[in-house]
């Protein structure tokens, strides 16, 4: 297949520090030099130099953390999906996490503009004892008609396999012709976000602290929080502003880092 962009990263633990032991990227994908926002692990910014996704674009990402590696990946800015007249734009992401590794993967929103079609497929394979924090968000783009939903559709599939057992099979289809503002769909909201956290030290106290902290958003967003079959949780958010979902994610990350990881919050300095 002819890829519009490819990005493959492998991280390993050497002398107590996480390093990229192998990296490869081509096309519209780039990766920054490491930034040490935490002393014991690097942060890498994933960069798209093409300006946005258009019809027929194909992007492939593969992230592999070897045993004990701790790494943060985050996008530099939002993913913009423009008009796709024929084939949809598509992004495939595969993540492999070995025992004792921990990946934080924070994604800026996917913004779908008028007549956009977008597919996102994510497969995550985790060995027992590995950990993950992942965020995702979808929003409609600006429209000259001032309508909220002018994209054709957004289709997201995510599968999480933990210790050779499927624990998450998540299918999302946002299609304006289905009347997204109706009940059991977006119910009057325009923005959708999700946060996935898997860590063997997640306990009831941390979960209930999250529930209590998120009450302050009850007039601005609709939030659902579910436990997973393993030590983990999945958060869903409906809102009308990107900033609201980002605030919710930031509060969740701060609590999880404090209560589960015994670490302070991180400021990623993107803007």
Average pLDDT over the chain reads: 92
Tens-digit pLDDT profile for residues 178-224: 766 655 577 789 999 999 999 999 999 999 999 999 999 999 999 99
Residues 121-133, mean pLDDT to the nearest whole number: 98
Residues 251-261, mean pLDDT to the nearest whole number: 95
Given this model, what pLDDT does residue 164 score? 97
Tens-digit pLDDT profile for residues 138-192: 999 887 766 777 899 999 999 999 999 999 999 999 988 776 665 557 778 999 9
For residues 122 and 124, give the distance between their C-alpha atoms in angstroms, rounded to a whole number: 7
On the question of pLDDT at 92 being above 60, the answer is yes
Lowest-confidence region among 35-44, 131-140, 145-154, 255-264: 145-154
Predicted TM-score (pTM) of this structure: 0.94
Percentage with pLDDT > 70 across the chain: 94
Given this model, what pLDDT does residue 166 score? 97
Question: CA distances (Å), 65 to each of 61, 62, 144, 267, in order?
Answer: 13, 10, 44, 23
Given this model, what pLDDT does residue 241 score? 94
Cβ neighbourhood burial of 269 (10 Å; 0-12, 13-18, 19+): exposed
Contacts (Cβ under 8 Å, ≥6 apart) of 74: 43, 44, 45, 46, 104, 105, 106, 107, 108, 268, 270
Tens-digit pLDDT profile for residues 54-83: 999 999 999 999 999 999 999 999 999 999
**pLDDT-derived band at 2, boundaries 50, 70, 90:** confident
Tens-digit pLDDT profile for residues 15-35: 989 999 999 999 999 999 999
């Amino acid at each position: 297949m002819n890829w519009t962009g490819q990005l493959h990263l492998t991280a390993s633990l050497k002398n107590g520090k996480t390093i990229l032991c192998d990296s490869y990227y081509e096309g519209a994908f780039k990766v920054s030099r490491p930034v040490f926002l935490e002393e014991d692990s690097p942060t890498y910014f994933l960069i798209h130099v093409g300006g946005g996704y258009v019809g027929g674009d194909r992007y492939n990402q593969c992230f592999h953390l070897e045993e004990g590696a701790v790494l943060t990946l985050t996008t530099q800015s939002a993913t913009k999906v423009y008009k796709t007249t024929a084939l949809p734009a598509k992004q495939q992401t595969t993540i492999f996490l070995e025992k004792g590794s921990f990946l934080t993967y924070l994604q800026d929103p996917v913004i779908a503009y008028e007549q956009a079609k977008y597919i996102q497929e994510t497969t995550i394979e985790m060995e027992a004892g590995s950990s993950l924090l992942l965020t995702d968000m979808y929003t409609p783009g600006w429209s000259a008609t001032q309508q909220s939903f002018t994209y054709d559709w957004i289709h997201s599939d995510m599968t999480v396999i933990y210790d050779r057992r499927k624990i998450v099979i998540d299918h999302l289809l946002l299609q304006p012709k289905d009347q997204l503002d109706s009940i059991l769909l977006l119910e009057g909201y325009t923005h959708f976000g999700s946060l996935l956290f898997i860590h063997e030290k997640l306990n009831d106290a941390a979960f209930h602290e999250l529930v209590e902290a998120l009450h302050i958003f009850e007039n601005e967003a609709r939030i659902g929080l579910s436990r997973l079959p393993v030590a983990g949780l999945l958060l869903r958010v409906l809102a009308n502003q990107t900033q609201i979902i980002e605030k919710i994610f930031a509060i969740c990350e701060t609590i999880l880092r404090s209560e589960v990881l015994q670490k302070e919050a991180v400021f990623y300095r993107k803007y």
